[in-house]
Amino acid sequence: MTLQRISLAMIVRNEETRLAHCLESVKDAVDEIVIVDTGSSDTTVHIAKKYTTKVYSYQWNDDFAAARNYAIEQTTGDWVLSLDADEQLSIDSRALRLLVNQPEYTAFCLPLCALKSCNEFREYDRFMVLRLFRRNYRFTNPVHEYVSIVDPMTVGYTCHPVIWHTAISPSERRARRGRNICLLKTAIALNNTDPYLHYYLGTEWLGVSRNDLAIADFQVALRQFSTTQAVFRTPAVRHLISCYKQSAKHDEAIRLCLEESAHYPEYCDLFFDGAVLFELQGEYALAMKWFQEAIRLGPPPLAFFHTDGTDSYLAYYHLGYCSEKIGLIKEAEIYYEQALATSQNYYYPLYPLVVLKLTQQPAVEVLRFLREQDYLAVSEVAVKMAELFWTAGFPDIGVQCLEHKVAPDALVLETLFTCQLYSGEIARAQQLILQMHDLGIEPSTAVAVDEIVGLMILSRFEEARQQMWRLWQKPDSRNEFRAVFCLYKKLCHNAAIPLANPQATATLLAVSNRCLQVRTKDFSQQHRFAAVIAAIKDILTNEAESLALFIDNLSVKEQGVKQSLDYTFSTLRGLYR
């Protein structure tokens, strides 16, 4: 058998931050790299020439298909792999070779996993895209171009290799959408019957939250796509459901889920979407049945548009939420634990799970659970858990969530400072501020306020005054300065200075609320925090406007206590059923 050669064909423009990552991921899997630049003004061309001598210029004419076809014409391989600079190939070097040596196929659809954000959790949607094909094929359509294959039986589907599409900034996304909408509207004016054009225009309208326009285009596309065209029809269905949901047209969305589940009974995502809609309407028991069906079905066929987790951790998470809503607390815990077990870094279920555990176990036992499961090894998770314990009235446990971080960042240090201060470890908290300065980390305004409060509690009023003037030097922190200055005058000189400022009042209320959450073994410190609360009360009750805000704050606190009692003594009765 003749060895099949593979050429990478790309078009690029101003991709200096991404091009090298893309080419590094694919350079060992292809025989040739061809890059066509369409007018870069940065170092894109220079980077491209580090990987290949076949770098060409193309005069941009608002036609992506024409530019890609020009790139194909410069290749010499038997097969063409098409990638964009914001994509990376996740493969070993043999994966493409195994595909192109299958004589029954002339093209392959590869899974493209579009990451939804730039964080560590790789949440993504999976599309199947035709990106590997024999060199005689060409692209069509000026925007959202695609390779048209006459005989679909010659197109293979594979789960490997995977194309990872990196998330882009909101500003860049908006610019791309604006460009694409203009090009698609022009193309539709010339050919109004092409379902692909309407599908792609619908996705662009959805991206800019014009659901009314997106609905119209998706409806046109669905009428023209046959049920066998799952690669395009399944995302069109789910995007239309999303449009209906965002437009509060839940009945239309549910109707579409029911209709399409008859066409695609094996499609877990449809059952997941339907379950979410029932959940939004408060039909929790019915929603649970649909989530359970999504899990039972498992991953859909490769050709189907798929959101990662709809058949596993996302469904389990929603099952936990629905169980809570109908008082099935034990079941909720199990579902949250299953959600965590089926994904290595999907931590959202951990928060409600820990809240449930805190209603049934001592805080130290919940901390032990987090440590045994190694959840606190992830800084972001540790911070969230520390904040949860702090909010629940256990700042000392919050400290234990964070104090062993080897390379703490600003968020870790600020959260640790808050927990230390309000667990009575005031001196340690002040040392932490010095550590932040040594690391070149500028504390936030909220932390600066708490630092000043801590110094006043320690009766270090001169240091507190110096820190107040630093706060004054920041124009956007003048309201916070006014708040702590009034508190300083009250505590140090028993002098009442009018606030006459709603923002400053809000700052003092926030300080008072935090002081109410203090948990310290030292009674004298507890007394000092109480003195701060009393001083704030005196300041706020001397002015009519501040007094009104103070009363509103008390009402909110009262409502929170009532909700907590109701949850503990009513909702949790489900534990004993």
Q: What is the pLDDT of residues 143-190, one digit of tens each?
A: 899 998 888 899 999 998 999 998 878 888 888 898 999 999 999 998
d(CA 238, CA 232): 10
Share of the chain above pLDDT 90, in %: 69
- Mean pLDDT, the chain, rounded, equals 89
Burial of 405 (0-12, 13-18, 19+ CB in 10 A): middle
For 12, the enclosing helix (H) or strand (E) is strand 6-12
Residue 439 has pLDDT above 90, yes or no: no
d(CA 308, CA 359): 32
Instruction: Return the residue matching tokens 């996304």.
Output: 173
d(CA 180, CA 26): 27
Which tokens go with 229? 């065209």
Q: What is the pLDDT of residues 193-222, one digit of tens each?
A: 889 999 999 999 999 999 999 999 999 999
* Closest by Cα among 354, 413, 360 to 388: 354
Residue 519 has pLDDT above 90, yes or no: no
pLDDT for the residue 78: 96
SS3 30: coil
Cβ partners under 8 Å of residue 77, min gap 6: 4, 5, 6, 7, 30, 31, 32, 135
d(CA 135, CA 75): 8
pLDDT for the residue 460: 93
Cβ partners under 8 Å of residue 97, min gap 6: 4, 6
pLDDT confidence band for 393 (50 / 70 / 90): confident
Residue with the bigger pLDDT between 120 and 130: it is 130
d(CA 509, CA 549): 9
pLDDT for the residue 169: 80
pLDDT confidence band for 537 (50 / 70 / 90): confident
* Closest by Cα among 19, 17, 16 to 8: 19
Q: What is the pLDDT of residues 281-299, one digit of tens each?
A: 999 999 999 999 999 999 9
Q: Can you tell me the mean pLDDT for 547-552?
A: 62
Q: Can you tell me the mean pLDDT for 344-351?
A: 89
Q: Can you tell me the mean pLDDT for 457-474?
A: 92
pTM: 0.83
How many residues in total does the chain contain? 577
Q: Which amino acid is present at 492? A: C
Residue 30 has pLDDT above 90, yes or no: yes
Residue 416 has pLDDT above 80, yes or no: yes
pLDDT confidence band for 344 (50 / 70 / 90): confident
Buried b (16+ CB within 10 A) or exposed e, 47-72: bbeebbebbbebeeeebbbbbbbbbb
Burial of 151 (0-12, 13-18, 19+ CB in 10 A): exposed
d(CA 392, CA 404): 21
Burial of 183 (0-12, 13-18, 19+ CB in 10 A): buried
Which tokens go with 448? 């600066």
CB atoms within 10 A of CB 528: 20
pLDDT confidence band for 1 (50 / 70 / 90): low
pLDDT for the residue 499: 77
- Sign, CA dihedral 288-291-295-296, equals positive
Residue with the bigger pLDDT between 44 and 95: it is 44
Which tokens go with 179? 């460009």
* Lowest-confidence pick of 31-40, 234-243, 517-526: 517-526
Helix axes 268-280, 250-263, angle to 10 degrees: 160
Burial of 386 (0-12, 13-18, 19+ CB in 10 A): buried
d(CA 200, CA 217): 8
Which tokens go with 558? 């009262």
Residues 328, 329, 334: CA angle, nearest 5 degrees: 100
CB 74 within 8 A of CB 17: no
Residue 14 has pLDDT above 50, yes or no: yes
Strands (E), 277-410: 306-307
* Lowest-confidence pick of 320-334, 419-433, 465-479, 535-549: 535-549
pLDDT confidence band for 575 (50 / 70 / 90): very low
pLDDT for the residue 115: 87
pLDDT for the residue 369: 95
pLDDT for the residue 567: 44
Residue with the bigger pLDDT between 502 and 281: it is 281
Residue 3 has pLDDT above 90, yes or no: no
Residue 532 has pLDDT above 60, yes or no: yes
pLDDT for the residue 172: 82
Burial of 15 (0-12, 13-18, 19+ CB in 10 A): buried
Instruction: Return the residue matching tokens 């991404």.
Output: 18
pLDDT for the residue 366: 96
CB 277 within 8 A of CB 261: no
Residue 568 has pLDDT above 50, yes or no: no
d(CA 484, CA 539): 11
Q: What is the pLDDT of residues 218-227, one digit of tens each?
A: 999 999 999 9
Q: What is the pLDDT of residues 55-107, one digit of tens each?
A: 999 999 999 999 999 999 999 999 999 999 999 998 766 789 899 998 899 99
pLDDT for the residue 577: 30
Return the bridge partners of 6, or none. 79
Instruction: Return the residue matching tokens 């099952």.
Output: 319
Cβ partners under 8 Å of residue 23, min gap 6: 33, 47, 48, 51
Cβ partners under 8 Å of residue 234, min gap 6: 264, 267, 269, 300, 303, 304, 305
